[in-house]
Structure 1
Amino acid sequence: MMQIINKYSHNHKACVDYFFNMKWPTGFYCEKCGCVHYYFLENRNVFECAKCGHQHYLFARTIFQDNKLPLFKLILGLYLFFSANKGCSAIEMASQLNVNYKTALKLCR
Protein backbone atom coordinates (compact mmCIF):
# COMPACT_ATOMS: atom_id res chain seq x y z
CA MET A 1 0.00 0.00 0.00
CA MET A 2 2.88 2.36 0.70
CA GLN A 3 4.00 2.04 -2.93
CA ILE A 4 0.58 3.22 -4.10
CA ILE A 5 0.63 6.14 -1.68
CA ASN A 6 4.18 7.15 -2.57
CA LYS A 7 3.60 6.91 -6.31
CA TYR A 8 0.22 8.65 -6.63
CA SER A 9 -0.44 10.77 -3.53
CA HIS A 10 0.97 14.11 -4.66
CA ASN A 11 1.40 13.39 -8.35
CA HIS A 12 -1.67 14.32 -10.37
CA LYS A 13 0.06 13.44 -13.65
CA ALA A 14 0.78 9.89 -12.44
CA CYS A 15 -2.92 9.49 -11.53
CA VAL A 16 -4.01 10.79 -14.95
CA ASP A 17 -1.53 8.44 -16.64
CA TYR A 18 -2.90 5.49 -14.64
CA PHE A 19 -6.47 6.06 -15.83
CA PHE A 20 -5.28 7.05 -19.33
CA ASN A 21 -3.60 3.64 -19.70
CA MET A 22 -6.75 1.91 -18.49
CA LYS A 23 -8.96 3.75 -20.99
CA TRP A 24 -6.57 3.66 -23.96
CA PRO A 25 -4.25 0.65 -23.36
CA THR A 26 -2.86 0.80 -26.91
CA GLY A 27 -2.56 4.59 -26.90
CA PHE A 28 -4.90 7.49 -27.52
CA TYR A 29 -7.17 7.49 -30.55
CA CYS A 30 -9.92 9.92 -31.44
CA GLU A 31 -13.32 8.24 -31.61
CA LYS A 32 -14.46 10.85 -34.10
CA CYS A 33 -11.67 10.88 -36.71
CA GLY A 34 -9.27 8.09 -35.66
CA CYS A 35 -6.29 10.40 -35.12
CA VAL A 36 -3.71 9.26 -32.56
CA HIS A 37 -2.26 12.69 -31.72
CA TYR A 38 -3.65 14.77 -28.90
CA TYR A 39 -3.11 17.70 -26.57
CA PHE A 40 -3.79 17.50 -22.85
CA LEU A 41 -5.55 20.60 -21.55
CA GLU A 42 -4.46 20.62 -17.91
CA ASN A 43 -6.78 23.39 -16.75
CA ARG A 44 -9.81 21.30 -17.82
CA ASN A 45 -8.41 17.73 -17.55
CA VAL A 46 -9.39 17.09 -21.15
CA PHE A 47 -7.63 15.31 -24.01
CA GLU A 48 -8.15 17.14 -27.31
CA CYS A 49 -7.61 15.58 -30.72
CA ALA A 50 -4.85 17.38 -32.60
CA LYS A 51 -6.62 16.91 -35.94
CA CYS A 52 -10.33 17.59 -35.40
CA GLY A 53 -10.32 19.24 -31.96
CA HIS A 54 -12.79 16.74 -30.48
CA GLN A 55 -12.47 16.69 -26.69
CA HIS A 56 -12.24 13.42 -24.76
CA TYR A 57 -12.79 13.33 -21.02
CA LEU A 58 -10.85 10.74 -19.08
CA PHE A 59 -13.90 9.18 -17.43
CA ALA A 60 -16.45 9.62 -20.23
CA ARG A 61 -18.35 6.38 -20.82
CA THR A 62 -16.67 4.58 -17.91
CA ILE A 63 -17.97 3.49 -14.51
CA PHE A 64 -16.35 6.62 -13.04
CA GLN A 65 -18.16 9.03 -15.38
CA ASP A 66 -19.95 11.10 -12.74
CA ASN A 67 -17.25 10.75 -10.12
CA LYS A 68 -16.18 13.82 -8.20
CA LEU A 69 -13.46 12.26 -6.03
CA PRO A 70 -9.83 13.22 -6.55
CA LEU A 71 -8.01 10.74 -8.76
CA PHE A 72 -5.73 9.61 -5.95
CA LYS A 73 -8.68 8.62 -3.76
CA LEU A 74 -10.12 6.61 -6.63
CA ILE A 75 -6.87 4.72 -7.11
CA LEU A 76 -6.56 4.10 -3.38
CA GLY A 77 -10.20 2.96 -3.21
CA LEU A 78 -9.65 0.53 -6.08
CA TYR A 79 -6.56 -0.83 -4.34
CA LEU A 80 -8.40 -1.28 -1.04
CA PHE A 81 -11.35 -2.97 -2.71
CA PHE A 82 -9.39 -5.41 -4.85
CA SER A 83 -6.65 -6.24 -2.36
CA ALA A 84 -8.99 -7.23 0.49
CA ASN A 85 -9.54 -10.99 0.79
CA LYS A 86 -13.25 -10.77 1.52
CA GLY A 87 -14.01 -7.37 0.04
CA CYS A 88 -13.95 -4.03 1.75
CA SER A 89 -16.87 -2.63 3.69
CA ALA A 90 -18.09 0.88 3.00
CA ILE A 91 -17.38 1.85 6.61
CA GLU A 92 -13.77 0.71 6.33
CA MET A 93 -13.33 2.45 2.98
CA ALA A 94 -14.89 5.65 4.31
CA SER A 95 -12.40 5.76 7.15
CA GLN A 96 -9.40 4.88 4.95
CA LEU A 97 -10.25 7.44 2.24
CA ASN A 98 -11.57 10.09 4.62
CA VAL A 99 -14.88 10.39 2.76
CA ASN A 100 -18.45 10.07 3.97
CA TYR A 101 -20.27 6.75 4.12
CA LYS A 102 -22.48 7.39 1.07
CA THR A 103 -19.46 8.16 -1.11
CA ALA A 104 -17.66 5.03 0.07
CA LEU A 105 -20.76 2.92 -0.51
CA LYS A 106 -21.04 4.23 -4.06
CA LEU A 107 -17.40 3.41 -4.68
CA CYS A 108 -17.86 -0.12 -3.28
CA ARG A 109 -20.74 -0.75 -5.63
Structure 2
Amino acid sequence: MSGSPRDTAMKLATLSTSFIALLLTTSSAWELQANGHVYTGNAPKGCQSINIPRGSSISWTGSKGAETLQLFNVQGKCSQVYRTVMGVGDINASNNIYGYMVKP
Protein backbone atom coordinates (compact mmCIF):
# COMPACT_ATOMS: atom_id res chain seq x y z
CA MET A 1 0.00 0.00 0.00
CA SER A 2 1.21 3.49 -0.75
CA GLY A 3 0.62 6.68 1.24
CA SER A 4 -1.52 9.60 0.23
CA PRO A 5 -0.24 12.13 -2.32
CA ARG A 6 0.29 14.55 0.57
CA ASP A 7 2.50 12.00 2.40
CA THR A 8 4.51 11.43 -0.77
CA ALA A 9 4.96 15.18 -1.27
CA MET A 10 6.12 15.60 2.33
CA LYS A 11 8.65 12.78 1.95
CA LEU A 12 9.98 14.30 -1.27
CA ALA A 13 10.23 17.75 0.32
CA THR A 14 12.14 16.32 3.29
CA LEU A 15 14.49 14.39 0.99
CA SER A 16 15.04 17.46 -1.19
CA THR A 17 15.80 19.65 1.83
CA SER A 18 18.24 17.08 3.19
CA PHE A 19 20.02 16.87 -0.17
CA ILE A 20 20.36 20.66 -0.43
CA ALA A 21 21.71 20.84 3.14
CA LEU A 22 24.27 18.15 2.30
CA LEU A 23 25.40 20.08 -0.78
CA LEU A 24 25.74 23.30 1.18
CA THR A 25 27.80 21.73 3.96
CA THR A 26 30.17 19.89 1.62
CA SER A 27 30.71 22.60 -0.98
CA SER A 28 33.59 25.02 -0.75
CA ALA A 29 33.01 28.63 0.23
CA TRP A 30 35.60 29.71 -2.35
CA GLU A 31 37.47 28.41 -5.37
CA LEU A 32 40.47 29.88 -7.20
CA GLN A 33 41.54 28.41 -10.54
CA ALA A 34 44.83 29.56 -12.01
CA ASN A 35 47.76 28.18 -13.95
CA GLY A 36 46.21 24.69 -14.19
CA HIS A 37 45.63 24.41 -10.42
CA VAL A 38 42.49 24.61 -8.30
CA TYR A 39 42.58 25.98 -4.74
CA THR A 40 39.54 25.75 -2.48
CA GLY A 41 38.57 26.58 1.07
CA ASN A 42 35.69 26.99 3.46
CA ALA A 43 36.82 30.17 5.22
CA PRO A 44 38.90 33.30 4.72
CA LYS A 45 42.61 32.61 4.29
CA GLY A 46 45.58 34.80 5.16
CA CYS A 47 48.46 35.52 2.82
CA GLN A 48 49.41 32.44 0.79
CA SER A 49 52.28 31.99 -1.65
CA ILE A 50 51.33 31.17 -5.22
CA ASN A 51 53.02 31.41 -8.60
CA ILE A 52 50.78 32.65 -11.40
CA PRO A 53 52.74 33.76 -14.47
CA ARG A 54 51.83 36.91 -16.37
CA GLY A 55 49.20 36.18 -19.03
CA SER A 56 47.50 33.39 -17.07
CA SER A 57 43.73 33.21 -16.77
CA ILE A 58 42.36 33.37 -13.24
CA SER A 59 38.86 32.30 -12.27
CA TRP A 60 37.38 33.15 -8.87
CA THR A 61 34.19 32.13 -7.09
CA GLY A 62 33.65 33.26 -3.51
CA SER A 63 30.70 33.07 -1.14
CA LYS A 64 29.62 32.36 2.45
CA GLY A 65 31.89 34.86 4.19
CA ALA A 66 34.84 34.44 1.83
CA GLU A 67 33.80 36.61 -1.09
CA THR A 68 36.93 38.63 -1.85
CA LEU A 69 40.18 37.54 -3.51
CA GLN A 70 43.17 39.84 -3.22
CA LEU A 71 46.22 39.18 -5.41
CA PHE A 72 49.76 40.44 -4.81
CA ASN A 73 52.52 40.93 -7.38
CA VAL A 74 55.50 41.54 -5.06
CA GLN A 75 57.26 38.32 -4.14
CA GLY A 76 57.18 37.58 -0.40
CA LYS A 77 54.84 40.46 0.46
CA CYS A 78 51.10 40.76 0.93
CA SER A 79 51.05 44.41 1.83
CA GLN A 80 50.13 46.13 -1.46
CA VAL A 81 47.10 44.77 -3.32
CA TYR A 82 47.64 44.30 -7.06
CA ARG A 83 44.13 43.11 -8.04
CA THR A 84 40.87 42.41 -6.20
CA VAL A 85 38.03 40.15 -7.37
CA MET A 86 34.75 40.09 -5.43
CA GLY A 87 32.05 37.42 -5.65
CA VAL A 88 32.67 35.78 -9.03
CA GLY A 89 34.99 36.83 -11.81
CA ASP A 90 37.55 35.93 -14.44
CA ILE A 91 40.66 38.02 -15.04
CA ASN A 92 43.96 37.74 -16.88
CA ALA A 93 47.16 38.34 -14.95
CA SER A 94 48.95 41.29 -16.54
CA ASN A 95 51.84 40.81 -14.07
CA ASN A 96 53.33 37.80 -12.30
CA ILE A 97 51.37 37.04 -9.12
CA TYR A 98 53.15 35.71 -6.06
CA GLY A 99 50.54 35.76 -3.31
CA TYR A 100 46.83 35.72 -2.60
CA MET A 101 44.48 36.29 0.32
CA VAL A 102 40.80 35.41 0.75
CA LYS A 103 38.76 37.90 2.76
CA PRO A 104 35.13 38.13 3.90
> Shorter-chain TM-score: what band?
under 0.3
TM-score, length basis structure 2: 0.26
TM-score, length basis structure 1: 0.25
Greater C-alpha Rg: 2
* Structure having the larger proportion of residues in strand: 2
Higher relative contact order (CA 8 A, sep 6+): 2
